[in-house]
Amino acid sequence: MNTALYIAKRYLFAKKSTNAINIISAISMLGVFVGSTALIIILSVFNGFEEVVLKMFNTITPQIIIQPLQGKTFNPNTVYFNELRTNKSVYSFTEVLSENALIWYNNKQMPAMVKGVSKDFVKNQSLDTIIIEGHFILQNKNGPAAVIGSALQAYLGVNSADPFEQLQIYSPKKGVQASSINPMDDFTVLNIPPSGVFEVQQEFDNIVIVPIEFARQLLGEEKNVSAIEINVNDGIDAEKLKDEIGKTLGTNFVVKNRIQQNQALYNVLGSEKWMVYIILTFILIIAIFNIIGSLTMLVIDKLKDISILHSLGAGKKLIKRIFLVEGMMITLAGCIFGLIIGFVFCLLQQRYGWFKMGESNLLISNAYPIALKWQDFILVFVTVSIFSLIASALASNLSVKKIDHLNKDL
């Protein structure tokens, strides 16, 4: 057995002559235990919030989007796009025609983005999860219908259950010069009933989703589209397909994945998690450096043992290694127990949802969401190991600092 490890274990588990050393060691271990537990729980909660937010965004955001590099629209009726439409890897191929317009409802008005989508858009069965009122219906027996964002609904006071009040959408006519006699002649005005209200995030909650045929009539666009949204079948690598599409289309188009479409959101979620990790790590470092006090007291208590070991031929490196291993054992024991308790707590929270954050709604439950990632456990363990090594190394230097004078005194 390794000599340093054997002696360190004896020092750790044997009864010390000074009770204060036991108390300080226990406090050091408890501090690391609490810090590790808190860190893994907080990181798991942030993972849970990230999954909830991204799930809502991914409901309305396609896996791949194709947009023109220049201009607002392009012709989707080309050989390659028709082949892509029937590609076995593609689950849904949605043509999108969008433009800003003015929305009137019940004597109130508000500018909004009108997004016309083809039939494949409603293949996404998760759309109902973002509906907070009504239903996600774009076409029924009475004709086209609109689904609007919650911000638009709140400002205009839209009642999706009212069959008599419809949205009036105003869009400037293309290629028509302004008329000084009757300005309304310069606009295309169409009515459409609201069928539901969805809520995702402010960026999306100011949108009116309509059938693409309605959007073509409103915007006076017969064949071009603003974008093509693609979702892939299960088991298909969306990133690989995105790269293939980008290479084929060349520099005239921009092809983006979900991360690129919502880059700001991913950056915010990532930066918030790392900031919390850094703050909690500073607290954990304070707990870890308590080990210096514990080892210093232990060195003082074991001065006679150190002198005897040195007289028997133990070198300074071995003596330093004994106290280094002692410090590592104290902190890593606290870390491992902390990770285990944190893991158990997260599993129980996932199953029973004991801790609540307020009123529940259709989008998220009222329990704090939890998502476990093995990378977080490795991150916490490595963090504790690094700072534990530094603190233990500093403290272990005290054991050999005056060893020569110690032998003479004893």
Contacts of 261 (CB under 8 A, 6+ apart): 61, 62, 65
Per-residue tokens: 231: 């979702």
Rounded Cα–Cα distance for residues 233 and 239 (Å): 13
Low-confidence ranges of the chain (pLDDT < 70): 1-22, 125, 175-185, 203, 298-319, 323, 357-366, 396-410
Question: Which DSSP string do the residues of 181-216 spell out, in sequence order?
Answer: S-GGGGEEEEEE-EEEEE-S-TTTTTEEEEEHHHHH
According to the model, what pLDDT value does residue 2 have? 65
Residue 82 region by backbone torsions, left for phi larger than 0, else alpha for psi between -120 and 50, else beta: alpha
**The dihedral sign for the CA sequence 195, 199, 200, 204:** positive
- Spatial contact of 28 and 294, defined as CB atoms under 8 Å apart: yes
Per-residue tokens: 192: 């459409």
According to the model, what pLDDT value does residue 410 have? 47
Query: 402 forms bridges with which residues in the sheet?
Result: none
Rounded Cα–Cα distance for residues 216 and 171 (Å): 11
- Helix (H) / strand (E) element for 339: namely helix 316-352
According to the model, what pLDDT value does residue 127 have? 79
CA-to-CA dists, residue 131 to 59, 110, 199, 257, angstroms: 11, 21, 6, 24
Q: Let me know the angle formed at the C-alpha of 19 by 330 and 300, rounded to the nearest 5 degrees.
A: 75
According to the model, what pLDDT value does residue 20 have? 63
**The dihedral sign for the CA sequence 154, 155, 158, 159:** positive
According to the model, what pLDDT value does residue 362 have? 45
Per-residue tokens: 313: 């031929």
Rg (CA), the chain: 32
Residue type present at position 272: E
- Spatial contact of 49 and 265, defined as CB atoms under 8 Å apart: no
Contacts of 71 (CB under 8 A, 6+ apart): none
Contacts of 248 (CB under 8 A, 6+ apart): 80
Neighbours of 135 (CB within 10 A): 14
What is the value of pTM for the model shown? 0.70
55-74 burial, b if ≥16 CB within 10 A, otherwise e? ebbbbbbbbbbbbbeeeebb
Rounded Cα–Cα distance for residues 309 and 318 (Å): 9
Rounded Cα–Cα distance for residues 263 and 254 (Å): 15
Residue type present at position 325: V
> Tens of pLDDT along 20-56?
666 777 777 888 888 889 889 888 888 888 877 777 7
Neighbours of 251 (CB within 10 A): 7
Query: 169 forms bridges with which residues in the sheet?
Result: 103, 190
CA-to-CA dists, residue 278 to 380, 383, 388, 401, angstroms: 11, 10, 16, 34
CA dihedral 355→358→361→366, nearest 10 degrees, is 0
Phi, psi of 132 (to 5 degrees): -110, -10
